Chains A and B, each alone.
Chain A
Amino acid sequence: MKSALYKTPQGIIGDLGEIQSVPYFLTPNVPNEVIALTAPGLAAGPIPMTAPFDGPLILRSLYANITDLATAFVDFSIQDGTEERQLQNAPIYLPTILGTYERPYYLPQYLFIPENGVLNMSLGSTAAFTDLRMCFGAAKLLRRTLDQSGKLALDRIQRRSILSIPYFMTFQNGSLALGALGSGTGEMQVSNEGTFLLRKISYISTGALNFNIRNESTGESLFVAPAGQTYDVPIQTIVGQFGTPLDLIEPWLIGNGQKLLVTATDTSNGANTLYLTLSGEFIRNGDMR
């Protein structure tokens, strides 16, 4: 198997796999673009981020700084030469993925962007914010230095990316409002075009609440009492705080067209709004081989 050659100050080497890629940071195309929405109801975008011409990207993490995280909804779409694809069923409440601490967010599944492919981001706001800077952490594959096994791996990743993308699911209208000590049910429906593999749960709420998630089609639920009946548990106990995502130990497969019912009960004795994001992988119907 022939390897790519690489010239180093110590001589030419031919079998160092690690030289086939470099870390890469993908930012909006306008250098150091600061996104500002100065009044409630304003929208920005689409803001394009274009992959380099000399090697594809594999996106793994996202990080950003924003002056007021409690206001923005975001949606992402990818243009990779096939068709424009959305990465969510509805705009995502930004703090549920970025958290209220400035830590990197690791995508539930890598996102492949071919050379010159474009990732678009749009933002909407319910209140003003003035200063958002963000970028994605990625690996850039150096196509010219790929050896035979690198080329095979790239081919596999590229074919997989046609059917599999990272995906976010949230309430169709953005949030679930609860009255003091009141209950409510929100719905999220998987499209008929594929299957959703749920890997992470994250939320922001304005008060304490109990919750559960049930698959309406199969009867499966996230929490099951010993007697078999479902029941709601405190969300903070299970998922944590500050928008920190909970990584499920095993992914939960939600089939074509199936509907998730999210039940929630306020325990704060005040009006309460729940923003919930389920992240995972959307696998389109088709042959993955």
Chain B
Amino acid sequence: MTPNLLADYALPNVCEYVAGRTFDQRIQEVLPYWLAPRAADFPLPLSTPTTGINTFIFTNQNFQMGVPTTFVATKSIMNLNTFGDSPRIRFRDNQNNRDLMNYWVSATNIFGQAGRGYQLPEPLIIDANADLQMQTNGFFQSGTASNRMYLHGRQYYLMNGARRAEILERKRYISPFWLTPEADVNLSANTTTSYQVKIAQGHFRGLQIQVASTSALTFKITDVLRRQTLMNGATPFPGPNAQYNVGMYPNWQSVSFMLPQGSVLRFELTDLSGASNKVSIAIAGQMLYCPIREVQPLLRDLAKPWKMEFEA
């Protein structure tokens, strides 16, 4: 649960041993892979500044000798010209018709500022010819080659049917998800505002917490159903104006945060800067799509050793 965040942009290890497979078979089947958005949708880098909603499609159109392949993305990389007022992002899995966020989440929240790889809380699985949609809402500065976005992971070639079924079965029950207040949060100077979010899609398992803001604030998160406030006092977040706040590293929580479907989460945000403050706060994790009674067997199943390869 506490990966070395500074090492999170390592190549996925293609040499690892997978039960029942020889090393030779393994390296024929799997390659590290980078997937960029379709150039026809939105050519990057941008030549002019862009505002409003833009749609990018990531399509896995990779075939080898006519055999479809499956892409398992474990990291994402994005570089933006400016992060101070970065665009907000929504992911949608078009193959399964699932939104992967309940509202827009700041790009800074997810990708940070240092152009480092971001470890997804759960892999994005894109089958042959399937689409992952990313929408951006807000300002993209034009110009240099800095605006870029890739998904990074493993491309599975020449896959036998059973192996492919295993990967797609995981996708059926679980997807990455970002939970955030369902509004654009613009705090007025020195005010406190609360936002409630109901977990509606499935059972949410939070793994990371990410905060981005234009200046300093404190936050308090409460699990309303269980009457648990997750801190003994309002927890500070300094904001990008602070001297050392350049990395925007997500904080991996010490323990996963299980919120069954129907739970309510309250975010209480207070500005400290004395000026208006644009805030994006998100809990990143996994959404589990199954009856509540099957959550425990599902989690047990996910912990099987051969499935660990999804996690690095």
Contacts and interface: CB of A to CB of B under 8 A. Distances in A.
A29 to B, nearest CB: 7
A187 interface: no
Interface stretch (A133-141, A156-164, A176-184): A133-141
Chain B: interface size category: 35 or more
Given A23-B254, A60-B2, A139-B255, A15 B296 contact: yes
A137 B231 CA distance: 9
A22 B223 contact: yes
A67 B254 contact: no
A9 B2 contact: no
B218 interface: yes
A67 B242 contact: yes
Interface in A14-34: 15-19, 21-33
B238 A102 contact: yes
B4 interface: yes
Nearest to B255: A139
B205 A24 contact: no
B251 A63 contact: yes
A231 B48 CA distance: 56
Given A9-B261, A11-B292, A29-B233, A65 B254 contact: no
Interface in B258-299: 258, 260-263, 270, 272, 291-293, 295-296, 299
Chain A: interface size category: 35 or more
Contact of B257 (A23, A31, A106): A23
Nearest to B219: A25
Contacts of B205: 18
A85 interface: no
Contact of B258 (A18, A25, A26, A60): A18
B233 A31 contact: yes
Interface string A28-47: 11111100000000000000
Interface in B190-210: 205-206, 209
A220 interface: no
A100 interface: yes
A10 interface: yes
Given A10-B262, A18-B256, A18-B258, A101 B233 contact: no
B292 A27 contact: no
B5 interface: yes
Contacts of A17: 296, 299
A228 to B, nearest CB: 32
A32 B192 CA distance: 14
B292 A138 contact: no
Nearest to B236: A133
B236 A27 contact: yes
Q: Which 8 A-B pairs have the closest CB atoms?
A: A9-B262, A139-B255, A133-B236, A65-B238, A25-B231, A18-B258, A60-B254, A23-B253
Given A65-B236, A142-B228, 6 more contacts: A16-B292, A19-B258, A65-B245, A67-B242, A104-B249, A106-B2
Interface of A: 8-11, 13, 15-19, 21-33, 49-52, 58-61, 63, 65-69, 100-104, 106, 133-135, 137-140, 142, 240, 244, 247
27 contacts: A8-B292, A10-B291, A11-B293, A13-B260, A17-B299, A18-B299, A19-B226, A22-B223, A22-B255, A24-B232, A24-B254, A27-B232, A29-B233, A32-B218, A32-B234, A49-B232, A51-B232, A58-B255, A65-B236, A65-B242, A101-B249, A102-B249, A103-B5, A104-B249, A104-B252, A137-B253, A142-B226
